[in-house]
Structure 1
Amino acid sequence: MDALIPVPRTSPAPGAVHVPGWLTVGEQRELVDCCRAWATGPVPLRHTRLPRGGVMSVRTVCLGWHWQPYRYTRTAEDVNGSQVAPMPGWLAGLGRRALVDAYEDTTAGEGYVPDTALINFYDDQARMGMHQDKDERSAAPVVSLSIGDSCVFRFGNTENRGQPYTDVELASGDLFVFGGSSRFAYHGVPRVRPGTGDPRTGLRAGRLNLTLRMTGLTD
């Protein structure tokens, strides 16, 4: 049998790096187990309602800070009023390791203390429109981890939702980091590819996306 050819890392824009296969299957399985526990609460996995009445097709659960359009709070007034589960130190450490590996710089993780994680679950019909991650007061990089079904990740420019953009295929275990001049680039997920995940992760269907961020907020 021919050996698998490693997929090379790519950089669709300055400060943005895609590292295929960064998480091992075992690490993915552990994260899936954790996500299942976090999904039960204290603030459960839910479809977020937007200010104009629309409902996001992805389902979300948060750690550390609760995100609601378009701000962070400690309690989930738009769900059940509870405080979200804390951001684990080991997950923040994973974020620092991600920056070191993505930027191939041993100092890249210094001072990076992500205090929130947004965990989105995509079924085969879910999408994410082009948007900026700009509700944080910090310009520290965003660390994105993918588990389960592959998706088309559209990474754009910082000025608008249109072109130029690059479509990147994110598969289970992939890491995507965006910081520097790409920190506020528009991005979205126009398509999930059902049935492409690895069942060894413990996720039978759908896609999990964990994004780690520094909010720059204080209590």
Structure 2
Amino acid sequence: MKHGIELRAAHVRYGPLEALHGISLAAPTAAVTVLLGRNGSGRTTALRALAGTAPLTTGTVVWDGIDVTRQTPRARAAAGLCLVPDRQAVFAALGVAENLRLAAPDGDIAPALDAYPELRPLLARRAGTLSGGEQRMLAVSRALLCRARVVLVDEPAQGMSSGVAARTYALLSGLDACVVLAEQRLPPGLRPSGPGGATVLVYELGRGAVVFRGEAGEVTPSG
């Protein structure tokens, strides 16, 4: 595959519970990889394992051909990895504008406001006072600003309207980065819509194991 980020034979334990049972998955650069599964399937743990916030019991994390298993989450972030968790993804006590400026390396928050003009009238508000959908817009826009090489997002469109969700998937698909999303179902915005669209790879997880791998076009709408 083109260089990107991988889990190889990854096991993760939370105390006596093994959440990942030796899974392997590869997310190439300049593509969107979707980890599908119900709650408890291991998709969020797999995302956290890639970021380093869920340390592996055994196995390896490989990024652009280099073993980064022992790198801390901070080191991975400094190297260009951005994780957007499903909860507590923004600095709740800070204002919306402050959240955006912290993510922008040059302080220019205009791209975030172009992506989500809904945030413009909210710039002076504290992030913790926003609705769930507004917080997800803010969290994803921070990921857009940081110019990461790897973007990991857990349920990016949670709480968003269908129109804003479709825009979010288009924005993530258009990034010049390795994008990995964790979802319960394959979103309509990531299904094949004709030539020239982003490549979308799918791994379905069940009880900590990979039960399906393929392309988005192979996943049934109910999947």
TM, length-normalised to structure 2: 0.29
TM, length-normalised to structure 1: 0.29
Would you tell me which structure has more helix in proportion to its own residues?
A: 2
